[in-house]
Amino acid sequence: MATPDDSVNVVLISGSTRSGSTNTAALRTLAELEIPGVAATLWDRLVDVPAFVPDDDAEPPRAVSALRFLLASADAVVFCTPEYAGTLPGSFKNAIDWLVGSGELYRTPVAWINVGNPGRGAGAEATLATVLGYVDADVVEQACIRIPVKRDAVRPDGTVDDADVRARLASVLGAVAEHVRSLTDRP
């Protein structure tokens, strides 16, 4: 769904509930970058999503409805999540579980960023790929990248201060936007 200025609308979803998360810092940085033709919105309210209860899906909790509404207006989604115990954090997987039956991710272009140190995060990536395959999301492979972010590169405002990291993050949004445009008639 295009924004009024016909920008590609990308929702950024952090899989971390930690206040000083480098995952959220990477996405917060993406949200503040000015990329022509791209409007990015950070969703960092994972902590508000209650446990998935299939019986509650007919009348989902407010936080779930808000997430679904946000995703319904998205042209694409970029995830950034830590790895816990070799897989996705339970709270993040729980949020995605709320989206399986409602279809917001179905055929939606998606990508993920891994900000962990080298050798970390492969389990989370593999599990996320499995889940996104299950919901038939359109994975933009060229935009799924590893960009290690050191904690000391995060500024007090919660954004990343490293120019190389910022440039690589911008390339993710550029690749996602290019993919979305290739699926539509947008300039």
Confidence at 186, pLDDT banded by 50, 70, 90: low
- Neighbour-count burial of 5, counting CB atoms closer than 10 A to its CB (0-12 exposed, 13-18 middle, 19+ buried): exposed
pTM of the entire predicted model: 0.93
- CATH at residue 115: 3.40.50.360
Total domains in the fold of the chain? 1
Taking the C-alpha atoms of residue 172 and residue 115, their distance in angstroms, rounded to an integer, is 13
Q: Report yes or no on 46 lying in a domain.
A: yes
Q: In the chain, which ranges are continuous DSSP H helix?
A: 22-32, 62-72, 90-100, 122-134, 163-183
Residue 56 is assigned to a structural domain of this protein = yes
Q: Is residue 95 part of a domain?
A: yes
- Kindly state the average pLDDT of the residues 1-22: 84
Give the separation between CA 158 and CA 173, rounded to whole angstroms: 19
Q: What's the alpha-carbon Rg for the chain, to the nearest Å?
A: 16
In angstroms, the first-to-last Cα distance of the chain is 14
Cα angle, residue 66 at apex, residues 141 and 42 outer, rounded to 5°: 45
| pLDDT, position 5 | 63
Please report which confidence band the pLDDT of residue 18 belongs to, taking 50, 70 and 90 as the band edges. Answer: very high
d(CA 67, CA 52) in angstroms, rounded, equals 14
- Answer yes or no: are the C-beta atoms of 95 and 60 closer than 8 Å: no
Tell whether 77 is covered by a domain: yes
Is residue 187 included in any domain, yes or no?
A: no
Predicted pLDDT of residue 6: 82
Whether residue 96 is contained in a domain is answered as: yes
Domain with 149, as residue range(s), is 8-182
**pLDDT higher at 111 or 1:** 111
Q: Looking at the domain assignment, is residue 171 inside a domain? A: yes
Question: Token pair of 96, please?
Answer: 């995605």
In a domain, 2, yes or no: no
Tens digit of each residue's pLDDT (9 = 90 or more) over 32-50: 999 999 999 999 899 999 9
Whether 83 contacts 121, CB under 8 Å: yes
For residue 29, the model assigns a pLDDT of: 97
Number of C-beta neighbours around residue 16 at 10 A? 23
Per the CB < 8 A criterion, the answer to whether 80 and 115 are in contact is: yes
